Structures are given as structure tokens and as C-alpha cells.
């Protein structure tokens, strides 16, 4: 996840520099070079989007599998006849884990 944030930050930083150069008449000679840097940073960010989506999907799947594992573990540790509240509680914990993972 850190590399995605770094690429996005580079794009935003380049955009900020371009805005600064645009706002100062004496720096306009550098505008073409700065705009190229913005375009390159944006393209680097866009090239990473498929990998970012794959990472998001992998995290979702991991959360789902972990949730199932811990739910089964919790039910298994509850004894031969688990209390009726164990399964819904575990389901709520699993869903919260899934939500937190989806946010990253």
C-alpha cells in the first residue's frame, strides 16, 4: 500500500509545483518541463491502478478467509453445542474486519 500512496503523493506534489510555477510570471519558462513531470507522475499513478485493484481484492479475500477461520475456531472452542449468540457475534466481528480491510 505504501508505494501506491507514494506515487499519488508524487503526482500531487508535481501538481502543486505546477500551480506555483503558473502563478509566478517569472517562472513560466519552466512550465513545459514542470507539466511534463506532472504528466509523468500521473501516468505512473495510472499504471499502478491494476496492481492496486489486485491488492484490494487480495485483502478482501484474506479478510473473508480469516473471518471464516476465526468463526469456525470460535464455534469449535465453544464446545459441542455452541451458545446461540456465538455465531452472530463472530459474524459481526468478521464483517467489521472485512469493512476495515476494504477501506485500505
pLDDT reading at 24 higher than 80? yes
Q: Which of 53, 64, 55, 72 is nearest to 97 (CA)?
A: 64
Question: Mean pLDDT over all residues of the chain?
Answer: 86
Q: What is the pLDDT of residues 74-92, one digit of tens each?
A: 776 666 665 667 667 777 8
Q: What is the mean pLDDT of residues 5-29?
A: 95
Q: Which of 7, 14, 45, 42 is nearest to 22 (CA)?
A: 14
pLDDT for res 73: 77
pLDDT for res 10: 94
pTM of the model: 0.55
Amino acid at each position: 500500500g505504501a508505494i501506491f500512496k507514494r506515487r499519488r503523493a508524487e503526482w500531487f506534489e508535481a501538481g502543486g509545483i505546477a500551480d506555483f510555477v503558473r502563478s509566478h510570471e517569472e517562472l513560466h519558462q519552466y512550465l513545459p518541463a514542470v507539466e511534463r513531470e506532472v504528466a509523468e507522475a500521473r501516468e505512473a499513478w495510472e499504471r499502478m491502478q491494476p496492481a492496486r485493484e489486485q491488492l484490494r481484492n487480495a485483502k478482501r479475500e484474506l479478510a473473508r478467509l480469516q473471518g471464516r477461520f476465526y468463526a469456525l475456531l470460535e464455534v469449535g472452542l465453544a464446545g459441542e453445542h455452541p451458545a446461540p449468540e456465538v455465531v452472530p457475534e463472530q459474524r459481526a466481528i468478521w464483517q467489521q474486519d472485512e469493512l476495515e480491510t476494504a477501506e485500505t
